[in-house]
Each structure stands twice: as C-alpha cells, then as structure tokens.
Amino acid sequence: MTASLCRSVLILVVTFGVQIGAQGQTPAPAPAAPQNRLSAIPEEKMTEALRRALAEYREVRPDGLGELGGAGAGGAVGAGGPNLWTVYVHLPEVLGPLRQLHEQSHVNPRMSQKLVHFIIMIVARYWTNDIWTAHEEDSIREGLGRDTVTALEEGRHPQHMAEDEEIVYDFCTELLENKRVSDATYARAVAKFGEEGVVQTAVTAGLYSYLSIAVNMAYPEAAPSGRLAPFPR
C-alpha cells in the first residue's frame, strides 16, 4: 500500500469515527429560562402530591409562595431563577419534609439566630449559592459584624470574631473542606454549645449543603453569577 493510499484510508477512518461520535452525542436541552434549566409547572399539570405540599406550605405561610417561591402566571409554580421552591416543586414528596427541617433551624434552635444565620452563610459561600441573600441582612440584625460578613463573602478568614462565631466558623469550615471535624474543634464546640448544639450545627450545615447542590444544578452554564462571585479555580 502506497503512502498516499495509507493517508487516504486514515482520513476516511478518522472522518467516519468523528461522524459516529457526533451522532452518539445527546444534545443538551435548551434551558427553560436564562437562569433556570427546570420548567415551571402549570396548574393543570400539578400532581396531587404537589398540590398537597403547596397547601401545607400555604397553611404555614398564608402570604403564599410569592415571586421568590416561583409563583408564575396562571397559577404555575417553579417559575423564575433557581431557589428552594422552584427546584423542589419538581419533587413534591420531599418538599414538605424539607420545609419542616428548614423551619426547625429557626423555630426550635439550640443556637442563637445569629449563629444559625452564620452557619447558613458559611455553607452558602462554600457552594457559591444565593441562599446567602436571604440571610445576609438578617445575620447582621442578629449581631454578626458586617466586617465578618464581608470577609466571608470575599473568601477571607474573618477577623475579630466573637468566641462563639470563631468556634462555628472553624467547625463548619473543617466539616465542609476536610469532611471531618478535628478533636480540638469538636471539644471547643461541645464545651460552648453542648451536644445538641453541635448536632444542630452539623445538621444545619448538611441541610443547606443539600439545598445548595440541587439549586446549583438548575443553573444553565451560561447563567450569570448571582450575588456571590465564584471562587477562582
């Protein structure tokens, strides 16, 4: 076989392989909205499970879902950018339990509301999630320093934190980044908050990580950054 013929055969093989590979690829579906891959659910397509979950929520919050909750035209839900409600309406069986866990972080806390908001913001910053926005000003009203909030937003270790804030920051940061908590940090946390407080800290961090992961999934690649700038890779 001549060199020219070999080159021709090679070109045909490569071209054919590229065509087969392209045919095997599944094109990505167009996002339902510029900032949300998930579609809104019109009222006529709501399942009974979703209707029950929404009714239970409205009993607790008579003001309804509102714009941030994804209320759309004609009674649709799941409209707007990704958040707790616009994502989890697609899985109504977990919507109620999630709402209950979400409320227990604030209704029956073993920690001060300042620290509950701080835990949520540490997690939101770790996942670069706009859950941050709902807690930023609340945390400051509850006594968290604005300089602490700014440092956290910018990815810096906050300076001049109170003792309880320092313990929570170390505990959550170790748990998120190392997937474990050191004995020394755990001992400080138990001494300050007791075992119930330590468990609530871990459960709250886990809950808001769970929420953040699903919400982050719903953003299309081309969606602009939200309130928090992504950390450099």
pLDDT exceeding 90 applies to what percent of the chain? 37
pTM given for the model: 0.77
163 vs 7, more confident: 163
**Contacts with 77 (C-beta within 8 Å, 6 or more apart), sequence order:** 40, 41, 46, 50, 54, 65, 69, 70, 71, 85, 86, 89
Q: What is the pLDDT of residues 93-135, one digit of tens each?
A: 888 888 788 777 777 778 899 999 999 999 999 998 888 888 8
Mean model confidence pLDDT for the chain = 79
How many C-beta atoms surround the C-beta of residue 22 within 10 A? 8
The pLDDT of residue 221 = 82
Q: What is the pLDDT of residues 65-103, one digit of tens each?
A: 544 445 554 556 666 677 777 888 888 888 888 878 877
Terminal-residue alpha carbon distance, the chain: 50
